[in-house]
Amino acid sequence: MNLSTLASWFAMSIRLSIPLLYAALGGLILFKSGVFNMGLEGMMLIGAFLGFYGVLVTDSLWIGLLTAIIGGALLGLLLAYVTVSLGGNQLVIGLGINFFILGLTGFFFRLLCNSGLVSDTTRIANFSSINIPFLSTLPFLGEIFFKHNFLTYLAILLVILINWFFYKTTYGLGLLAVGESPETANSAGINVYLIRYIAAIISGILAATGGAFLTLTQVTRFSENITDGRGWLALAVIIFGKYTPWGTLGASLVFGAGLGLVLQLQVLGVKIPIQIVQMLPYVLTIAALIGVVGKVRGPSALGRPFVKD
């Protein structure tokens, strides 16, 4: 493997890690507030579909992205209402969102196909890469780090901002307190319900942005179940990253490298059965969880409903 091929693999690994990073950061924020988000797959899928549909109808990438964000926010709001206000089982609700959105997006995509507006091969415009002056021309490093679209750079910036928010701001420390002991946080005057609602909405927005990244930058089309398990992989990224923003970034890059290696080998002519490619996200998830099981502790109140006295 020469330097050119190696640079191509590294760059591809970064691109493949970004959808995972967005979804994992969204899940991490909600996890830190004490709510388990099993619905990341569905949130990514609605973002992918609405992003595609928004561009298809308006021919505007920005409206497509905004449409995806709104869809994710609404799903986050739904998750918050059922789990926070009604005290519903967080795992069951998350799974329900995944299956509901899988069926919903598949149904509406078939409607679009049957109407003749789109087909399985219909392509849309995409966010183009930004070649950073001078840096993008650097040998080896230029291709790896400095030829990506703005959503990629935004994801890295979000890691920095979320880490600062968690550990350096009053609101962030309040969110962490809610995740550790909502009863104690409530006694200290922190509005537990409000924090969890906001965290759920932000979680939906980020996960949907990760889904929109697929249709608006990577594949530029939509197909049923296009997320293909990436939401589940994002859950593993959070745990493998030890529930920290920087750890989440590192885990996303590792998983992205695994996905990228398979694609790079295919480009080089290595014949890999499609079944191997399809099961890779789940294999990586299992392998990651086996490696950290019993070694990583999440927020103390994770998954536990809070009922205000």
- CATH number for the domain spanning 153: value is 1.10.3470
Is residue 308 domain-resident?
Answer: no
Is residue 171 domain-resident?
Answer: yes
Six-digit token string for 243: 């529930």
Number of structural domains found in the chain: 1
Tell me the pLDDT tens digit for each residue of 227-257.
988 999 999 899 989 999 999 999 999 888 8
Provide the domain limits for residue 60: 3-122+142-292
Is residue 305 domain-resident?
Answer: no
Whole-angstrom Cα Rg for the chain? 19
Length of the chain: 309
Is residue 309 domain-resident?
Answer: no
Is residue 221 domain-resident?
Answer: yes
Is residue 135 domain-resident?
Answer: no
Q: What helix, strand, coil percent values describe the chain, rounded to 5?
A: 70, 0, 25
Mind listing the pLDDT tens digit of every residue in the chain (309 residues)? 577 778 888 888 999 999 999 999 999 999 999 999 999 999 999 999 999 999 999 999 999 999 999 999 999 999 999 999 999 999 999 999 999 999 999 999 999 998 888 877 788 888 988 888 888 888 888 888 988 999 999 999 999 999 999 999 999 999 999 999 999 999 999 999 999 999 999 999 999 999 999 999 988 889 888 998 899 999 989 998 999 999 999 999 988 888 887 777 766 667 767 677 667 667 767 776 776 666 678 899 998 888 876
Q: What's the CA gap between 68 and 66, in Å, rounded?
A: 5
Q: What's the CA gap between 233 and 236, in Å, rounded?
A: 5
Is residue 82 domain-resident?
Answer: yes
